[in-house]
Amino acid sequence: MHVISKITMKQLCLILMILTLSTASFGQMIRDSVIFYVDNRVEVNVAVPDYSDLKSSSGVVAALADFKRVVTQLQNQLSSESAEVVRYSVGGSVTVEPGNQKIVYLRKEGSFTNTGVRDRGIIVSKEFKIFITTSDISSITDLSLSECLEKVIAILPEKSRWSKSLYYECIDGAVMKIDDRNNELDFLELTLGAGAGLVKNAWVPDVSFGVGIGFNKKGVARFPYISSNMLFDFGSEGGTNINTFLNVGYGWDISKQTKKKEILGIELGYLISRQGDLFGENTFKLGANWSPVKGVFVNPHLYITDNFNTVFPGIRVGFGF
């Protein structure tokens, strides 16, 4: 087998292996939110990877009860005149720091009501995060937060593969569902773009188009896709050779931010239309597909050509929508 640029190919193989393996280790992602309001005084936002796990775990309820005891013990050190953030790491440290002081007014029946200075409580665990917002964090000591959360958990809907934001109201111990939103849905994606690829130490322009079906599970998009690249090789005699690859791939959204998409995937292509001498008989392309930001694509890959007798690396940078 003839191999072009051995060192470069080894480096590229290492990059491909790292990119491929990294798709299997995304880490724990917070995708669901269970929000409930207690006696119109406190907002509690429980952020978890999957809200259905709350039904089989008492850790969130216990952490909320622990935080309430922490605030009770710190009550003499807290101020009702300034905004504060009380941060509690479950089973660990407690910090109190200045918050973002602002006065929030609610409009009701033509008049404005001053809701006071905003305090926040933040409870952090490996499995979840809880955000508490209120006018005075000390006021939570006389509220039944844990009891309300237990009642909310008891009426959570059936498990969903989509990420959700669920809203409830707890007044005088009675819990009522007030909203239910799907944050991410399945989708059909069409792409059209242009770019340039490095083939045998020369940059070759191309145009591409593709179609993919995105399947969301708790906000993490996974999608199979089919795409095509048409490479334009301008010959020495002024002619133009067009080589067309048909590709199949599978991608993941590896971003932990709901408003940002970072796509990483693997791709296999075959040369379905060959012109000129840029590629030999039976040419395959194996590589990674990385989109760090929307509309930008980076594709390191290997070309396997001449009936599996020649292997050489390549890389493509493209832009599209």
**CB 77: neighbour CB atoms within 10 A?**
9
Q: Strand, coil or helix: what is 80?
A: coil
Q: What is the pLDDT of residues 6-52, one digit of tens each?
A: 434 444 444 444 444 443 333 346 689 999 999 988 999 999 999 99
Q: What is the pLDDT of residues 106-149, one digit of tens each?
A: 676 778 877 666 899 999 999 999 999 998 899 899 999 999 99
Q: What is the pLDDT of residues 241-271, one digit of tens each?
A: 999 999 999 998 887 665 677 889 999 999 9
Q: Which element (helix H / strand E) includes 22?
A: helix 6-22
Task: Estimate to the nearest angstrom the gap between the alpha carbon of 104 and the chain centroid.
Answer: 31
Backbone phi, psi, residue 292, to 5°: -65, -30
Q: Which residue has the higher pLDDT, 2 or 254?
A: 254
When mean pLDDT is compared across 9-23, 150-164, 298-312, the lowest value belongs to: 9-23
**CB 51: neighbour CB atoms within 10 A?**
24
Q: What is the pLDDT of residue 257?
A: 62
Question: Which CA distances in Å does 123 have to 28, 35, 82, 186, 295?
Answer: 17, 14, 20, 32, 37
Q: What is the mean pLDDT of the chain?
A: 86
Q: Which domains does the chain have, with CATH numbers?
A: 2-25+185-320 (2.40.160), 32-182 (no CATH)
Q: What is the 3-state secondary structure (H, E, C) of 145-205?
A: HHHHHHHHHHCCCCCCCCCEEEEEEEECCEEEEEEEEECCCCEEEEEEEEEEEEECCEEEE
Q: Specify whether the CB–CB gap between 158 and 180 falls below 8 A.
A: no
Strands 111-117 and 103-108: antiparallel
Nearest alpha-carbon partner for 175 in 150, 195, 194, 196: 150
C-alpha span between 103 and 270 (Å, rounded)? 62
Question: Which CA distances in Å does 266 have to 27, 127, 217, 222, 315?
Answer: 19, 30, 19, 12, 14
